[in-house]
Amino acid sequence: MIKTFIIDDHPMVIAGIWQMLQNADNVQVVGSASDGYAALEALKKQPADVALVDINLPDLDGIELCKKLRERFPKLKILGLSTFKERSYITRMIDAGASGYLLKNANGEELSEAIEAAYRGRMYMSMEAALTIARPVATQPELPILTSREKEVLALIAEGMTNNEIAEKLFISPLTVDSHRKNILAKFGVKNTAAMVKYGMEAGFI
């Protein structure tokens, strides 16, 4: 039996996975957590072979958690789990050491297959995820990657703060804030604040 641990902030999803895996003969769910730090704690006491990690967690995001898990539990295999099929999420999750990526519309069969594959050291990709990363890059606008400082500044801009106000709040020079602002504009490929906020919200940065 492959010991599996679930990390997701929605009890419904945890219950659903639990249910789906109940009559799998190769997989056993040994525990679950609703945020990243709880998972890191719980896994100390309750070792597992495979972890299902939601990308969207309240404390640290799935990618960060994936890295931390890989550090502390090198033998643990990780499967990313989310509703997003954006290319950058998938590739970043794989970069962070995940053994695959599943969408939340997976069924029980796919779940146990994926867990089995990860456990055996193979890579598992749900069909949609595979299609997404296999598609030529030209037709696939890459979600730009913002640094944490840039995300911070972007959020404050969206709050309606000016460069000066943000500078004061972050204890940095207004010129620095302006630099971040310009970098975000460039990364998003937009020409003003309005389009930047719209893009940022649609891409989930805000």
Chain residues that interact with a copy of itself, rule: CB under 8 A: 9-20, 34, 83, 104-108, 157-160, 162, 190-198, 201, 206
Question: Which ranges constitute the DSSP H helices of the chain?
Answer: 11-22, 36-45, 62-72, 87-95, 108-119, 127-134, 148-158, 163-170, 174-188, 193-202
| Closest CB 191 distance from a copy of itself, rounded Å | 5
Cβ neighbours of residue 9 closer than 8 Å, sequence gap 6 or more: 34, 35, 54, 56, 57, 58
| Closest CB 72 distance from DNA, rounded Å | 15
| Closest CB 60 distance from DNA, rounded Å | 14
Q: Over the Cα atoms of the chain, what is R_g? A: 19
CA distance 42 to 29: 13
CB-nearer residue toward a copy of itself: 35 or 116: 35
CA distance 90 to 110: 18
Over the range 78-105, which residues count as b (16 or more CB within 10 Å of their CB) and which as e?
bbbbbebbbbbbbebbbebbbbbbbbbe
| Closest CB 147 distance from a copy of itself, rounded Å | 19
70 binds DNA (CB under 7 A): no
Out of DNA, a copy of itself, none, what residue 172 binds, judged by CB under 5 to 8 A for its kind, is DNA
| Closest CB 121 distance from a copy of itself, rounded Å | 25
66 binds DNA (CB under 7 A): no
Binding range to DNA, per CB under 7 A, among 7-15, 16-24, 74-82, 170-178: 170-178
Q: Give me the residues that bind DNA (CB under 7 A), please.
A: 145, 147-150, 157, 162-164, 167, 170, 172-173, 175-176, 178-182, 185, 191-194, 196
